[in-house]
Amino acid sequence: MGSTMNGQLLYIFAVAILDAAILSWVALHWYRRTVSRRMRPENGETPARGADLRAGVQWSDAEGTGAEGVDAEGVDAEGAGAEVQVAVFRADDDSAAKASVRDWPAGWRRIAVGYCVGAALFSAVITTAVLSGMPSPPLSAIFGTWWINAWPVVPTLILLLLLDRRGALGVVVTYLLAGSAALAILTLLVQAYRWSFSSAPLTNMFWLTAGILLTAYLPLSLLLLSGWRRIRAVMPLALASTLCFGLGLLVFRHAIVAAFNAPASRDLLLDLAVMTSHQVAYYSLYMVLALPAGWLAWSLLKVLAASYERKKFSDVQLVVDCWWLIVTAETITVSLVTAYGLAGIGIGLAAFGAYRVGTFATLRLIPVRSAGTPKRLLLLRVFGHQARTESLFDRIAQRWRFRGPVQLIAGTDLAMRTADPGDMLAFVGGRLRDVYVTTSSDLPDRLARIDVRPDPDGRFRINELYCAARTWQETLGELLTLNDVVLMDLRGFTRNNAGCVFELERLVAQMSADSIVLVCDKTTDYKELSKLLAEAWRRAAGGASAPHGAALTLVTIERNSRAALDALMGRLLGRGEPHRVLTLSELAALA
């Protein structure tokens, strides 16, 4: 019974995880196409921000003046343009790399303690079950088994703390060395107590490392699959659905076997097979069972989405919980069901519950220490460069979330990064239209929904505003009044990027220069950029927020290297010294 159940569960969990990965990829691509379709202009409207802009598409602002018609000689001639300076920071040089920010996220100790407690409780339940049949297990076996089964805390901390390769390697090495050293010391102390010494401290260190590798290699490969950035946002929801249907299939098979053991139900099933066929009889009955399984899956998705909206967890915490569920499933199928039969499922679920309760309680008991008033970041960019924009988002926006919320106008380039449980539930339920700002009257309600409170892990949220063609300009104006810092990625900017032209004009008109950070590279049309900035400065000269006398920050990044993006993060935090300060005419000469 145990081996049969073990094989069935292993098959179901493996297929559920693979199906969830495929389903996540399909759902996100479908979601991305839907977002793109809803942003297309209708009946001659200008394109929505984030839609694919055709070359040559331009428009003027409300006052009827745009970037066109700015005299190149007027950039540094009379008027406001003569006062404009641009502080250029080179993020790719050695000095920027030395000054780059690689600090730990705010509250990282709280996160580490919370999830270490959860991992310790999870492993304690598994260790108790594994060693329960061993009479008087030695202390070294207890500690070694406990340390081995707590290994998921390593990828958990890597994801939660946004560690790069160097930091991730440091956590892995620290976990292996700390466990080996503690086991060696414990073994040595026991030997000293008994006054009987041997090479056991060294051999125990070897077997601990080997045990971690043998235990972790299979589930870790599944974690890497489910943690792929392109599907990570939807994987927990998809896995919840596929597991419901997979377990429903298992229950159905056992029900069919039990039905054939009863004469009355056996005759009924055989009569149905004779009237149709055995395939029709089998699968028609399964479809009847699939209805409650589908209802259960949908209910579970609604519960997850509602819990997310109530800030019970962050999107990253949901991914981490999905990882622990995968590890739990692997532990159940590989060891617990073999030893305990169906009771092994209960033991595994009890271990997962201990992890979740321990983590939740610890994070509740340790207060979030605020580093000051949260600063809100608005992310603007040239659309059409998905991989580059995703890299910038992963390195900058995700790290900023420990300092304050991030706002952006939704686009197809980041659709696969920013989708959250609420978005996907609205999408699957056919209610994605409801989250769009389709008219001006929708805007106050959407702005009121912007989340500015931290999640239990101290992380703030990504607030996307989905805009129709007729509303994105008005939405941008309102967003500029709600944010403290604006990061605008102008790599690839030309005069044909009409949306960016409008955004730059509004930035200069509404924001102070020291709160704006522009990112450029060799693909940026500096001549057009300088013309646009000069004209925008002239028109803002009479406004209350006219930024005369202040230097605009421009960071050059030729490649999305870790050091370059770290340096950009430092500049957003007000760190670093400019490479040089240019006038707009000198900026135009960079072309």
Q: What is the pLDDT of residue 94?
A: 53
Does the pLDDT of residue 47 top 80, yes or no? no
Pairing state of beta strands 436-437 and 406-409?
unpaired
The token pair that represents 336 in the structure block = 């617990």
Look up tokens 């792929």; give the residue.
228
Burial status of residue 481 (CB atoms within 10 A of its CB: 0-12, 13-18, 19 or more): exposed
Q: Average pLDDT, stretch 268-276?
A: 71
Does the pLDDT of residue 321 top 80, yes or no? yes
Residue ranges per domain, the chain?
70-103+370-588, 112-226+338-366
Write out pLDDT tens, residues 325-366: 999 988 988 888 888 887 888 999 999 999 999 999 999 998
Q: Strand ranges (DSSP E) for 350-455?
A: 377-381, 406-409, 436-437
Q: What is the pLDDT of residue 346?
A: 92
Amino acid (one-letter) located at 149 = N
Non-local CB neighbours of 47 within 8 Å, separated by 6+ positions: 39, 40, 41, 53, 57, 469, 498, 499
DSSP state of 381: E
Q: Average pLDDT, stretch 526-540?
A: 85
Alpha-carbon distances of 400 from 394, 487, 522, rounded to whole Å: 10, 11, 26
Does the pLDDT of residue 253 top 90, yes or no? no
Q: What is the pLDDT of residue 82?
A: 46
For residues 120 and 423, give the distance between their C-alpha atoms in angstroms, rounded to a whole number: 34
Write out pLDDT tens, residues 488-500: 999 888 878 878 8
Does the pLDDT of residue 264 top 90, yes or no? no
The token pair that represents 307 in the structure block = 């819990």
Burial status of residue 385 (CB atoms within 10 A of its CB: 0-12, 13-18, 19 or more): middle
Listing DSSP states for 436-489 in one string gives EE-SGGGHHHHHHT---S--TTSPPPEEEEEE-TTTHHHHHHHHHTT-SEEEEE
Task: Report the Cα–Cα distance between both ends of the chain, in Å, rounded.
Answer: 74
Q: Average pLDDT, stretch 287-305?
A: 81
Domain 70-103+370-588 fold: Rossmann fold (3.40.50)
Write out pLDDT tens, residues 223-248: 988 888 888 888 888 888 888 888 77
Instruction: Quote the pTM value.
Output: 0.84
Does the pLDDT of residue 292 top 90, yes or no? no
For residues 536 and 550, give the distance between their C-alpha atoms in angstroms, rounded to a whole number: 14
Distance of CA 468 to the CA centre of its chain: 25
Does the pLDDT of residue 170 top 80, yes or no? yes
Does the pLDDT of residue 69 top 50, yes or no? no
Name the CA dihedral angle for 441, 442, 447, 450, rounded to a multiple of 10 degrees.
Answer: 160
In terms of C-beta distances under 8 Å and separation of at least 24 residues, what long-range contacts does 393-401 make, across chains too? 393/417, 393/418, 394/229, 395/560, 395/562, 395/565, 395/566, 395/569, 396/487, 396/565, 396/568, 396/569, 396/572, 397/462, 398/162, 399/105, 399/162, 399/569, 400/569, 400/572, 401/459, 401/460, 401/461, 401/462
For residues 509 and 539, give the distance between their C-alpha atoms in angstroms, rounded to a whole number: 8
Does the pLDDT of residue 108 top 70, yes or no? yes
Listing DSSP states for 119-169 in one string gives HHHHHHHHHHHHHTTSSS--HHHHHHHHHHHTTTHHHHHHHHTT--HHHHH
Q: What is the pLDDT of residue 151?
A: 97
Q: What is the pLDDT of residue 356?
A: 96
